[in-house]
Amino acid sequence: MALEIVTIPCLSDNYAYLAHDPATGTTAVVDVPEAGPISAELTRRGWSLDLVLLTHHHWDHVDGLSALLADFPAKVVGAAADAHRLPPLDIALAERDTIRIGDEVGHVIDVSGHTIGHIAYHFPASNVAFTADSLMALGCGRIFEGDPEMMYESLMKLAALPPDTLICSGHEYTQTNAKFALTIEPGNSDLISRSRAVDAARAEGRPTVPSLLSEELATNPFLRSDAPEVRATVGLPDAPAAQVFAEVRRRKDNF
């Protein structure tokens, strides 16, 4: 039985996610920007909390942890590589390690680039990946600690997951990302229609996440280094894909 996913808006533009295994009643939360909305959702559903899965060390993904644990004791899981700057971990993981939410087995993917030590969690039986600030809806995280090559390699690992994978990312940046994406691929009809759908969702206050990997592959400029229009826009018709990515990312930084 697939994990039940609940999207929880936090702070001004962050998301936390609950992942609940209905077979065993086990529940995890992915990232804790603040405790209040997560506690409220757990209480409303009558769920206890078993696991906290952290993606990376930035404050807007961990700040609510101690307050949440005070009401909902749980085991804290995160990257071994980042243990020195994450809150205390009960379980420290590296790439290819696994973590279970009840019967559902998750695989750890190193997606360094935004930070070094950023991990994603992929649950293949449920077709869901928690990507936080690596692959985002129509975007990707800013490269603070890694370099473009590293970030590109991380994104390609995620791009290789099954196209029907649900991508649960960390922020509501999609509308701005869409405006930028349209400067890179103004002729992409899938992007044009997705951009309209994003505007409509935001006008009604609905989250634009999670998204499907297939949508990202068709519209996210950071996954589309090989698209002729992307290459033409950045003036790199024959460059390696990672170099095209680096130029698209550079333009987004200045957008």
Minimum Å distance from CB 89 to Zn ion? 18
Minimum Å distance from CB 175 to Zn ion? 19
Phi, psi of 39 (to 5 degrees): -55, -45
Interface residue with Zn ion, options 58, 122, 171, 249 (CB under 5 A): 58
Cα torsion through 33, 157, 98, 94, rounded to 10: -80
Between CA 216 and CA 104 the distance in angstroms is: 25
Minimum Å distance from CB 58 to Zn ion? 3
Interface residue with Fe ion, options 60, 110, 185, 247 (CB under 5 A): 60
Residue 31 interface partner, choices Zn ion, Fe ion, none, CB cut-off 5-8 Å depending on type: none
What DSSP string describes 170-202? SB--HHHHHHHHHHH-TT-HHHHHHHHHHHHHH
* Closer residue to Zn ion, CB minimum distance, 108 or 244: 108
Interface residue with Fe ion, options 104, 110, 133, 185 (CB under 5 A): 133
Question: Does 110 contact Fe ion by CB under 5 A?
Answer: no
Between CA 126 and CA 136 the distance in angstroms is: 19
Binding-site size, Zn ion (CB under 5 A): 2
* Candidate segments 40-48, 60-68, 148-156, 200-208, binder of Fe ion by CB under 5 A: 60-68
**DSSP tag of 113:** T
Phi, psi of 76 (to 5 degrees): -105, 130
Between CA 19 and CA 2 the distance in angstroms is: 10
Question: Does 118 contact Zn ion by CB under 5 A?
Answer: no
Minimum Å distance from CB 187 to Fe ion? 31
Q: Looking at the annotation, which residues are catalytic?
A: 56, 58, 60-61, 114, 133, 171
Contact map string, positions 165 to 194, toward Fe ion, x by CB under 5 A: -----x------------------------
Buried/exposed 55-70: b ≥16 CB within 10 Å, e otherwise: bbbbebbbbbbeebbe
Interface residue with Zn ion, options 133, 172, 185, 216 (CB under 5 A): 133
Minimum Å distance from CB 220 to Zn ion? 18
For residue 54 the two structure tokens come to: 């952290």
* Closer residue to Fe ion, CB minimum distance, 171 or 231: 171
> Counting Cβ atoms within 10 Å, is residue 214 exposed (0-12), middle (13-18) or buried (19+)?
middle
| Binding residues vs Zn ion (CB under 5 A) | 58, 133
